[in-house]
Structure 1
Amino acid sequence: MRLRHIEVFNAVMLTGSVSGAARLINVTQPAVSRILQHAELQLGFALFQRAKGRLVPTPEALTLAPHVERLFAQLDEVQRLAGNLKLGQSEAELRVVTVLALSFEMLPRAIKRFRAKHPDVPISIKALHSPQIVSSLVLQEADIGFLFSSAGHAALAQEPLAEARIVCVAPKGMLPARVVKRGKVALSDLDSTPVVGLEVQDPVGRSLNQACREAGVGLQLPLTVQTYHAALASAHHGLGIALVDTCTAASADITWVDVLALEPQIPVPVHALRPAGKPGSVAARAFVRCVQQTLAEVI
């Protein structure tokens, strides 16, 4: 199938008719019919059957459809990247993408530090999942990204900024007073205490699960949440112990919870990412340094 065949096929799949496809891609109805017939002739099988004035896709067309959808998604990415390259890096705005955990406490502190030297640079912050952060940077829709896991992508350069760790955030009274006074708790001490679980595909969740396997500890997980701050909020409401990174724990309200070190130490590396081959603006480099300094203060 040629690209024009695929475009017409996709338009008919979306609209269900020749007239709708013609309007969608801004061509005449005879042109749509002609291109569709040519595509079917080349393929050697029918793509659509007529039924009550509509075009119904054949089983072969339904098999092709998801592959065509993926192709158009990739074409959209190419167009977006081309548009971003044409515009060049925005001089008016510093575009930052980050994991949600860093957006509550770390980045506001870093922005305050950054504002002292760069008061006139507008900043946009988007909190995304790690794959979305990588995609935004690859498409050059963002200037800097911050995440907890490394990203081995050829189009991206990454820089380690700090090594956070997982800490224990316990509702007041849930742990023995002697443990709280000591200021640290062993992972094995939590096997009979309700713990708020993190999704296994999450970087911190993966590290925690691995540490539990190595220590032979089976945690009680009556509640599992998607984000670290949801785990922290659950601890604030007494639902269980939250095992979260030190950046998230910086938002803990110590009138409601106790924050303790966790043994063994489970590292949570923080990385800065940017498009490879681009040195970045002065403002972008300065912002990364402000984030690094803020992380050093907290961690």
Structure 2
Amino acid sequence: MRLRHIEVFNAVMLTGSVSAAARLINVTQPAVSRILQHAELQLGFALFKRAKGRLSPTSEALTLYPHIERLFAQLDEVQRLSVNLKTGDDAKELRVLTILALSYEILPHAIKLFRVKHADVAITVKALHSPQIVTALALQEADIGFMFSPMVHSALEQEHLIDGRMVCIAPKGMLSARLLKRGSVTLADLTKVPVIGLDVSDPVGRSLNQACREAGVGLQFALTVQTYHSALALAHHGLGIAVVDTCTAVSADRTRVDVLALEPAVPVPIKALRPAGKPDSVVVRTFVRCFQQALAHTT
């Protein structure tokens, strides 16, 4: 299919008729019909069934359409990137992306440090999942992003800031006095208590599962959540032990939970990502250093 065929096919799928598709892409109705017929001729099968003035997609068209949608999403990314490349140098603000776990305690501390040196810079912050941060930075929709674990992408550069580690957040009374006195737990110590699991697609969740495999330990995941602070909240309510990063553990209410180190240590690397090939501004460099200082106070 040619690009023009794809454009017309997409318009008809969205609108359901030739006339509406013609209005959507600003061409004449006969032109849409002609392009659609040519596409079907080239493909060797029908894309639509005509009935009562409307077009119903064939099974072949329904099979094709998800691929067409992805193509248009990629074209949209190209358009957004071209706009950002044109206007990026004129931006008057610092655009920061961070995973949710770093947005509660670390980010506010970093902004306070940054304000001492750059009180007049407007800051826009978005808390996103790691894949969203990577996509937004690759499209130059932000200046800097912070997340756990490395993410390899040809359009991005990354800087290692610090290694956090996993810790256990245990509801009061759930762990023995012996473990509390020791101040640390092993994965084997957690086999007989309910543990709040983390999504396996999450970097910390993957690291936890890998540590369990290496230790030959099977944990009882009473609940599984997607975010670290959800795990922390469940621990606060006595529903299980949360195994989270040190940045999340800063928010723990020590009157309701005990915080213990996990041994042997399971590192949680924290990275700064930025668009590759784009010179760092003084503002971006300063903010990264402030973020690193904030991390040093809490990890």
TM-score, normalisation: structure 1: 0.97
Which residue of the partner structure matches residue 70 of structure 2? 70
Alignment of 1:106-117 (within 5 A): 106-117=106-117
Moved over 4 A (4+): none
Which residue of the partner structure matches residue 12 of structure 1? 12
CA offsets 1:110-159 (integer angstroms, 9 cap, x no match):
11111111111111111111111110000000110111120111110000
Distance 1:90 1:298, change over 3 A: farther
CA offsets 1:41-63 (integer angstroms, 9 cap, x no match):
33333222211111112232222
Structure 1, unaligned stretches of length 5 or more? Answer: none
SS of equivalent residue, structure 2 residue 238: coil
Distance 2:207 2:92 in 1: 39
1:236 aligns with 2:244: no
SS of equivalent residue, structure 1 residue 195: strand
User: Aligned AA for 2:134?
Assistant: V
User: Aligned AA for 1:56?
Assistant: S
Which residue of the partner structure matches residue 135 of structure 2? 135
Distance 2:12 2:223 in 1: 46
SS of equivalent residue, structure 1 residue 123: strand
Distance 1:45 1:266 in 2: 56
1:209 aligns with 2:209: yes
Which residue of the partner structure matches residue 257 of structure 1? 257
CA offsets 1:28-86 (integer angstroms, 9 cap, x no match):
21221122122223333322221111111223222221221111111001000011111
Distance 1:175 1:255 in 2: 15
Report the CA distance between 1:196 and its aligned residue. Answer: 0.8
| Paired positions, count | 299
Which residue of the partner structure matches residue 168 of structure 2? 168
1:126 aligns with 2:126: yes
Report the CA distance between 1:217 and its aligned residue. Answer: 1.4
Report the CA distance between 1:21 and its aligned residue. Answer: 0.3
> Which segment is superposed worse, 126-135 or 46-55?
46-55
SS of equivalent residue, structure 2 residue 117: coil
Which residue of the partner structure matches residue 47 of structure 1? 47
Distance 1:241 1:43 in 2: 57
TM-score, normalisation: structure 2: 0.97
User: Aligned AA for 1:91?
Assistant: A
User: Aligned AA for 2:177?
Assistant: A
> Which segment is superposed worse, 66-75 or 27-36?
27-36
Alignment of 1:74-89 (within 5 A): 74-89=74-89
Which residue of the partner structure matches residue 102 of structure 2? 102
SS of equivalent residue, structure 2 residue 96: strand
Which residue of the partner structure matches residue 288 of structure 2? 288
Report the CA distance between 1:89 and its aligned residue. Answer: 3.7
SS of equivalent residue, structure 1 residue 205: helix
Distance 1:91 1:45 in 2: 49
Distance 1:51 1:31 in 2: 20
Distance 1:219 1:43 in 2: 54
User: Aligned AA for 1:159?
Assistant: E
Distance 1:104 1:90 in 2: 30
Which residue of the partner structure matches residue 25 of structure 2? 25
Backbone CA RMSD of aligned residues: 1.2
Report the CA distance between 1:90 and its aligned residue. Answer: 4.8
Report the CA distance between 1:3 and its aligned residue. Answer: 1.2
Report the CA distance between 1:246 and its aligned residue. Answer: 0.1
- Percent identity reads 76
SS of equivalent residue, structure 1 residue 84: helix
Distance 2:54 2:106 in 1: 56
Distance 1:260 1:128 in 2: 28
